Structure 1
Amino acid sequence: MPKATGGVVYFFTRTSVPKKSVALYVLCLAFLVCANFASASSILLATSEVSPFSDSKDVSKGYVNEIVVKAFEELGESLNVEHYPHARALMLARQGAVDGVFPVHDYERFNDAFFISDAIPAGASGFLIRAKDLQGHSEIPDLVSWLKQQNLRGIGYLRGTIAPKFISNETFFNMFPGKSTVNLLDLLGRERIDVLFIDKYSAKEALVNERPSLIGEFIFIPGQEVESSFHLALSKQKPESSALIEKFNEALRKQKQSGHVTRTLEKYGVYKASDNEKALIVGAPDINAVFHAKAYLDEYDSPLSQLNIQWQIMDETVLRRRLLGDFSVNENRFDLVLIGNYGLPIWAKRDILVPFSTHPDNYDIKDIIPAALLANTVNGALYGLPFVAETTLTFYRTDLLDNLNLSLPTVLTYKDVKVLAKQIHRPEKEVYGVGLRTRVGWGQNMALVSTMANTYGASWLDEKMQPTLDSKAWFDAVSMYADLAKNYGPPDNKNMGWQENQKLFAEGKLAFFIDASSLGGALFDKGFSKVTQFTGVTYAPLGNQQKGAQWFWSWNFAVPKQSQYVDEAQSIAHFLTSKAFIDELKKARGEYAAPSGTRHSTYSSSYQQAVPYAAFEHQALKLLSSDDPSKSMIGSQFIPIPEFTAIGYAVGAQINDVVTGKQSVRKALERAQSHTQIILERAGYYAEKEK
């Protein structure tokens, strides 16, 4: 095992061990023990996949991971982390083969074997059942009695954890320890168990990412949450553990006092319940337009000044997962939410959203760009109001091209980008040819890869709902994407989102940046970018055809039916998407602060003069608008089905492995094809076709 020095964290993943490998496993275990004793300064901890708390692939992800790692960094302690299934992680820590284990729930404390740290907030666990079993039962004052009355005997829980004693002590119930959250969800779906005691966040994450076919099938029994916390557990077999847990607790207290714990939780979409029950909660992504809008409302009087609005702002990928996670178990935490044009029609069709049936007299709905209006219309009703919209543009450095006597062709292709990026790429000078999204996610790397595939002539599915990821068009598109990212992108770019690429471009370190048009405002803001005077803009590159080269994405205000303040939420949505608000925001914070892409009136002559990319964006958005879907130039960056979040993540992970050199393009697409087919089969699409 590598030795950790200087606070570096090494992490490995362990899964099940075949019987024929038991001897080797024992030898490896002995080696771990010896290595741990040989390096007293290196702490070895075991952890397990408990999304969003701990990530099995990257120790830097998961909020418990971040808090634990930061604490040891502040203590100056070197740390190794190994990943195991939860039960095995506990076993190794009990045996002293590792120094400790995290995250451990407070209800599974083993004080006889471990020193337990102070609490790290963990949200709540609950009792998940099939939605049909809860119909007609709104209040359940006595859970045990109700379960007995309904003859719900089979109780599932995660192996290695402990089910609540008020359940497990009852001989009426049959207890089923499951090896994973996904395994338990499958058992609940097949009616092999009746109730699942599980961490609520973990259940939602598993449904969204691994079992989308079960979305909407389950619900947590209301009013029966068990508040809990996570802990670090250090083995009592290690003589240094007693002193180490005290030092860890002190580092943890400092993180809590500084607000670091709260900020880390919020980054993962885990917000504390509002102290003010009357607060109207708005869920929003961490995009520039949201920050400008919130800053305006904080600084100036407006029609919303009398409302008690609590913004919960988080990474857009996290927001999507939290929204879908809540909807997956028929819950909702928000009164008003910014939702993308992927999710909006899905949830509107499921009767989760309230339509906007009327508008203020001065709202001027005809001013909204048709593509943005169409994205919010389902069966003739308007379920969302577009706040900000975008298409794809190419930002480039004019000075870097001029220095080498290079110029852009009239119609830019991805082959042209490669040729130009290759000549400009100077990593030794921190100047890189091109910045592309590589972070895994259907709205991250796959947003770009999907439109690249479209312009190379590919599509996600054929007319029979069969995936086409093993086609030549996909191969050509992914090969070009991987070539650009690997050979002409910044170093260590396996987890680059738009934020990281935008920052690099603003620092003068990228020659080309292919991404959302909405990012242009910051790139032409002299307070943000060092190279505004050398920034050029053109349309998205083409592959083999023009159709599909651009994506269309919009963030739209929508009101869930479970909102406590439907009328007030719709009033907020109308104001923040109105011409009046956009004009006031321009005056208060500058032309570039206006949320773009939704209204024709936004693109005034003064706006186009202040924002050089505006004319390109407006023209591109008008070209995307068509009443005839067959003539639309919008690239199909997603499949409009609930399962696409899991498909996009699975395919994105395979393509990310190409960028990092772990596998070939052909192997990645073969696996992506298989993953996609399995997800669609599990969801029943092919069975329905056969009927």
Structure 2
Amino acid sequence: MLHLATAARWLFVTALIISELAYARPIVLATSEVSPFSDSKDVSKGYVNEEVVKAFEELDEQLNVERYPHARALMLAKKGTVDGVFPVHHHERFTDAFLLSDAIPAGASGFLIRTKDFKDNSSPDNLVEWLKRQNLRGIGYLRGTTAPKFLSKETFFNLYPGASTVNLLDLLGKGRIDVLFIDKYSAKEALVNERPNLIGKFNFIPGAEVASTYHLALSKQTPGASQLIEKFNLALQKQKQSRLLTLTLEKYGVYDASQGEEALVVGAPDINAVFQAKAYLDKHDSPLLHSNIQWRIMDETVLRRRLLGDFSVNENSFDLVLIGSYGLPIWAKRGVLLPFKSHPADYDIDDIIPAALHANIVDGQLYGLPFVAETTLTFYRKDLLEKFSLSLPTVLTYNDIKSLAKQVHIPEKEVYGIGLRTRVGWGQNMALVSTMANTYGGAWLDNNMQPTLDSKAWFDAVGMYAELVRQYGPPDNHDMGWQENQELFAQGKLAFFVDASSLGGALFDDHFSKVTQFTGVTYAPLGKQQKGAQWFWSWNFAIPKQSRYVEEAQLLAHFLTSKIFINLLKKARGEYAAPSGTRHSTYSSDYLQAVPYAAFEHQALKLLSSDKPGNAMVGKQFIPIPEFTAIGYAVGAQINDVVTGGKSVKAALEGAQSQTQIILERAGYFADKEE
């Protein structure tokens, strides 16, 4: 009996050791495009993905994530080739092969139809009967998931599983299916990034959303699966209690709709001027009580994608929104925005700088009020140049920048020659790179709408950009936006910083920057010509046509863009706090004295101005078509591959040329020529 008891104890100890050894290896999970939204280059991104990754970090478990089509991800998990799969829908059919986690909160799924089939815009009381009345029979859904049971039970409908979200959108666009049951967030992302030619052609059936929850499914073949799923659930619960889960969702622009039910919802980018305005409104009187305003402030790239995603399916999440000078004329022409037809008596519209005003005029009507505007400036460290007995030339070129950055680059002391945007995005790395291409003599398209990204001008510009970033930039700088570079400059770790003039307010704020007294400013560098060396950009308050509170939105927009507000903000928070670039009166003698870069900005904006709407921008960093968001992202990803060393400049630009050509062809810009 003693021997049997000893053997039993050894077996128990051995089982524990095996279990511990199982946890010693990385957990391998498969993810798919079901996740809103799994990044093909970084599978840890996407709000469901990030929640899962953070939970495993909390557990101190090693995790490897691999991306597959959803059906294949499920198959691999069922076979035990991977330890599990996420996300899986709560309504998917599962075998006994899986253990499911608690629900991971997500957005909603909906029923997408072609706009031309949207003959009855009321919310259906009975979706099945509504679809039957419209004779919408073909229901598409993502392979590996299931369509709602109330549809699959009806013999009237024909169900079609699609290989991917993009494939299903194509089928819907061509009329091969009538309805697409799809996660709303994923559908919008796919339209914006991969199928811009279909933007505006679909609607979600109102009031027919299906709440979505997702789960992590662990294979029962995974050693210690039951203990691991219990630990994962505890980590997930901790995320909920700490609001980390809510903050993760909001990082991706996903908000609880009930939060803004009785408030004016303002969509805004996370720029300095927005935070200054919000801080003022929180403490001072204004036309609206601060409690009646809900600010949804997010990364500017996320905001653009949320706006464009909503517009792509004829929806709206905001009552008032800051929209950029790229999107405003596009959506004004499509009837998405309401014009400002009158102004308060003391608004003084003639005080607005022409470049900022004309960027908001479409077909003779004003669709936006400029809140902040900017051009490109070069910020530099005067003390570092003096230390090495260097000086700026009268006319600064990118060759000069390269030579100077090389001489002041001291990486062993954490001082780097230059900081430039590298984060992928048409408003991130491409805002700078396309402006560089302009000043090297390049353009996005020729007069026949043909892309020119494989030209020598682009080759020279991208070659210079990549050399500056790789040779004289900070380490691991392949995913840096303006915020990260601004922070490094403020910490004294950059010698040069070429970016938006609007960033100067923070760089000359002693509370933010350690090098205020050593900071110098000059105009943007030139490549081979003056024309196009500077970009123009403005953030403008606009009112979506579907705004619930139009009068209140107009009132707030006029106040926040007025001379009165700018002066109040200066008095309350200092001269540097004023949103710049929009009004001549902003550049008072006190402002010019307090903000050293202001004179350069004002002069540069006046040079970019024109008496005619539409001619305000000399250096155009975007193509004014809806498809440009996809083009800019695709080209930005190719150029980022040069920064990381994955591609040569030549190969990246050839890829960019090909992708741009495909997007334009798919959108029909060459249809007449083909005929």
Match of 1:119 among 99, 103, 106: 103
Question: Does the 8 Å contact 1:52/1:268 carry over to 2?
Answer: no
Aligned 8 A contact 2:536 2:617 in 1: no
How far apart, CA to CA, are the structure 1 residues paired with 2:669 and 2:498?
35
In the other structure, the counterpart of 2:318 is 334
- Mapped pair 1:364 → 2:343: no
Q: 2:196 aligns with which of 212, 215, 232?
A: 212
| Secondary structure of the corresponding residue to residue 380 of structure 2 | strand
Corresponding residue for residue 581 of structure 2: 597
Deviations 1:284-307 (A, max 9, x none): 001111011011111112222276
* Structure 2 CA distance for aligned equivalents of residues 92 and 186 of structure 1: 27
So what's the TM-score if we normalise by structure 2?
0.95
Mapped to 2, the partners of 1:385 and 1:433 lie a distance apart of 38
Shift of 1:633: 6.2
In structure 2, relative to structure 1, the CA distance for the partners of 1:187 and 1:572 (3 Å cut) is same
Aligned partners of 1:94 and 1:114 also within 8 Å: yes
- Aligned pairs (5 A) from 1:257-656: 257-275=241-259, 277-305=261-289, 308-627=292-611, 634-656=618-640
| Gap change, CA 1:276 and 1:206, over 3 Å in 2 | closer
Partner of 2:6: none
Contact 1:51 1:205 in 2 (8 A): no
Residue identity opposite 1:229 in structure 2: T
Find the counterpart in structure 1 of residue 231 from structure 2: 247
Q: Which amino acid aligns with 2:385?
A: L
Asked if 1 retains the 8 angstrom alpha-carbon contact of 2:361 and 2:613, the reply is no
Q: In structure 2, give the amino acid aligned to 1:259.
A: R
Which of 127, 133, 136 is the aligned partner of 1:149? Answer: 133
Deviation string for 1:145-196 (max 9, x for gaps)? 2222222111110111111011112122111111110000000011111110
TM-score, normalised via structure 1 length:
0.93
The CA deviation at 1:634 is 2.1
Q: Percent identity?
A: 80
Query: What is aligned with 1:20?
Result: none
Amino acid paired to 1:271: Y
Q: Distance in 2 between matches of 1:271 and 1:318?
A: 13
* Counterpart residue identity of residue 213, structure 2: S
Structure-1 residue corresponding to 2:211 = 227
Residues of 1 paired with 2:35 and 2:519: CA distance?
Answer: 40
8 A contact 2:22–2:224 mirrored in 1: no
CA deviation after TM superposition for structure 1 residue 122, in Å: 1.0
Structure 1 residues 578-626: Cα deviation after superposition (integer angstroms, max 9, x where no partner): 0010101111111111100000111111111111101110111011002
**Structure-2 change in CA distance of 1:630 and 1:364 (3 Å):** closer
Instruction: State the superposition RMSD in angstroms.
Output: 1.7
Which SS does the other structure have where 1:108 is aligned?
coil
- Taking a change above 3 Å as real, the CA distance of residues 538 and 276 of structure 1, as seen in their structure-2 partners, is closer
| Cα distance in structure 2, aligned partners of 1:581 and 1:652 | 37
Which residue does 2:76 correspond to in 1? 92
Residue 679 (structure 1) aligned to one of 637, 643, 663: 663
- Alpha-carbon shift at residue 51 of structure 1 (Å): 5.9
Equivalent AA in structure 2 for residue 430 of structure 1:
E
SS of residue in 1 equivalent to 2:527: coil
- Give yes or no for contact 2:322–2:542 (8 Å, CA) kept in 1: yes
Q: Please state how far the C-alpha of 1:257 moved relative to its aligned partner.
A: 0.8
Q: Cα 1:690–1:100, aligned 2, differ >3 Å: closer, same or farther?
A: closer
Q: 1:438 to 1:392 in 2, by over 3 A?
A: same
Deviations 1:531-569 (A, max 9, x none): 111111000000000000000000000001100111110
The amino acid that maps onto 2:581 is G
Paired with 1:655 and 1:252, the residues of 2 have a C-alpha distance of 37
Rounded Cα–Cα distance in structure 2 between residues aligned with 1:278 and 1:39:
49
Q: How many Å apart are 1:228 and its aligned residue?
A: 0.9
Aligned partner of 1:31 in structure 2 is none
| Matched AA of 2:456 | K
Q: Quick check: 1:48–1:55 contact (8 Å CA) kept in 2?
A: no
Distance 1:589 1:613, change over 3 A: same
Confirm or deny: 8 A CA contact 1:390 1:554 kept in the other structure.
yes
In structure 1, C-alpha distance between the alignment counterparts of 2:479 and 2:410, rounded to whole Å? 21
Deviation at 1:522, TM superposition (A): 0.6
For 1:326, what is the secondary structure of its paired residue?
helix
Alpha-carbon separation, structure 1, partners of 2:336 and 2:55:
42
Q: Distance in 2 between matches of 1:503 and 1:231?
A: 37
Q: What residue number does 2:7 align with?
A: none
Q: Is the 8 A contact 1:93 1:99 kept in 2?
A: yes
SS of residue matched to 1:274: helix
Cα deviation, residue 277, structure 1: 2.3
Distance 1:237 1:290, change over 3 A: same
Q: Greater CA deviation, 106-115 or 533-542? A: 106-115
CA offsets per residue over residues 30-82 of structure 1, 9 Å max, x none?
A: xxxxxx98774421111113464322211332122221111111111111111
Q: What's the CA shift for 1:135?
A: 2.1
Q: Is the 8 A contact 1:129 1:188 kept in 2?
A: yes
For the 8 Å contact 1:283–1:311, the answer to whether it is kept is yes
Within the candidate set 162, 165, 172, 1:178 is matched to 162
CA positional deviation for 1:109 = 5.6
Q: Which residue number in structure 1 is paired with residue 119 of structure 2?
A: 135
Residue equivalent to 1:47: 31
| Structure 2 gaps, min length 5 | 1-19
Measured in 2, the distance between the counterparts of 1:370 and 1:602 equals 14
Give the AA of the match of 1:560: P
Secondary structure (helix, strand or coil) at the match of 1:125 reads strand
Separation in 2, partners of 1:271, 1:533: 41
Note closer, same or farther for the CA distance 1:50–1:412 as it changes in structure 2 (3 Å cut). Answer: farther
| Aligned CA distance change for structure 1 residues 214 and 631 (closer, same or farther; 3 Å) | closer
Contact 2:397-2:526 within 8 A present in 1 as well: yes
Gaps of 5+ in 1: 1-35
565-574 or 117-126, which deviates more? 117-126
CA contact (8 A) 1:547 1:633 kept: no
